[in-house]
Amino acid sequence: MNVLLVNPPSTGVFTTFGVSLPPMGLLYIAASLEQAGHKVQVIDLQCEPSGLDPFHIKAADVVGITSDTTRIEKAMEIARQAAAIGRPVVMGGPHPQFMAEEILRTGHVHCIVKGEGDLTFPRLLQSLERREDLAEVEA
């Protein structure tokens, strides 16, 4: 599958001081998805001041977004755009794993991965491809 992984832009104190570090969690996930045979594009919006090009969403079969609490509104906006054109949206990271019900209720996010996404996301995609019951995906 073509998977788009998005790191929303940060307003954290580190960014204020010009510190921008690579999104390690998403990069671990990208590596494990590639090992499982998927084609992955990582868009780090920390480094893309013009924002997310809708073309990247259209080109993806699945969109994965990471978020902490400080970036959840931006993450939800990306989720809304992707869901509006029918892309399954998966979210993970420190905020979604504790606020899963609230996020899922919006209807813009279809799955939330709690914990280690590099282990769970490949299993989730396999279940999506096989049209299996997602509730059965091993966490």
Interface contacts to ligand B12, rule CB under 6 A: 10, 12-14, 21-26, 28-29, 64-66, 68-71, 90-95, 113, 116-118, 121
Q: Which is nearer to ligand B12, 1 or 12 (CB)?
A: 12
**Please, what is the minimum distance in Å from the beta carbon of residue 51 to ligand B12?**
16
Q: Which is nearer to ligand B12, 37 or 115 (CB)?
A: 115
Nearest to 9 by CA among 63, 50, 54: 50
**Please, what is the minimum distance in Å from the beta carbon of residue 19 to ligand B12?**
6
